[in-house]
Amino acid sequence: LERGVFYAAEKLYGVTMQRRTDLPVYHPDVMTFEMFDYTGESLAIFGLDPYARAGKRGGAWMTFFVRQASLLGQKPVVYNVLNIVKPAEGRPALLTRDNVTTLFHEFGHGLHGMLSNLKYSTLSGTSVARDFLEFPSQINEHWAMYDAVLKNYALHYETKEPIPQSLVDRMKAAETYGAGFHTIEVVKAAYLDFHWHRVTEEAAVLPPAQMEEAAMRAFGVGMTEVPPRYHSGYFLHIFAGGYASNYYVYQWARVLDCDRFEWFLESGGLTRENGDHLRACVLSVGNSVDANVAYEKFAGRKANMKAFLRINGLLDE
């Protein structure tokens, strides 16, 4: 956390995180930190509830206790909630690759909330269009495998030796394995979501399995070799919550984050100049600026999906 997630944030935005043990928490596992800007100004309180426990909802998410609003003098109180396996007493928590990615992802949402600088809470932080919401979180994921960050946190828990470069190379190579299959299954799930939200009463008489097949054929992705990531009976996103008819947003955000992470790599990588540009154009403005306008101000152009194809090994140039 401190040598990876917080380290990357400090390099990009000049913010520092200081542990607070004097604040009340709702469970003993919860850790709290205060975020300070490079000027020394206190920006936010950040809480982390990392471990799984009985009665706790599964998955991982970011939530607000208080949203930023300069009108009321409100500074944000943001929490990341995860479900990492709690270690035995006296032992460190060893994270999987997926755990690390999730930690960076949720803190990306957290940064979106904590670096907000707006008058009204209804516009601040993550109060953005659903298909822009995942952009800050997913671009933050990329820093988990960025060499300068990886070398700072990926140390053997006993010997403190850095992770071998040969292992890093294999991990990076594995990231593109099955990328085509994964892309198709997610796209098919998004099409299925769209189909359910525009289905007519007459078409709804078909059994769900037949309806799924018809929907895939209608959208031109009827190949049976790659099924949708979810079938209708357990596709919870499309029936409840903010992702109903919006499952596509994850894939669209991936196009955006790959496009801009490629720019980061071409422009010096993990630097304050680059981070401040993202902060000024996206992270600080919430929904006070249209998402397309914010992105195009940051990028200098509309999104281009070629970076997504390149990063995923799907473009042969």
Q: Which residues in 264-280 are b (16+ Cβ under 10 Å) and which e? A: beeeebbeeebbbbbbe
Calpha distance 14→7 (Å, rounded)? 10
**Reduced to 3 states, what is the DSSP secondary structure of residue 55?**
coil
Check 2, 41, 89, 106 and give the catalytic one. Answer: 106
CB atoms within 10 A of CB 117: 16
What pairing do the DSSP bridges indicate for beta strands 61-66 and 31-36?
Answer: unpaired
Where residue 59 falls (left for φ over 0; alpha for ψ -120 to 50; beta otherwise) is left
**Reduced to 3 states, what is the DSSP secondary structure of residue 101?**
helix
User: Is 106 a catalytic site residue?
Assistant: yes
How many residues does this entry show for the chain? Answer: 317
By annotation, the residues acting in catalysis are 106
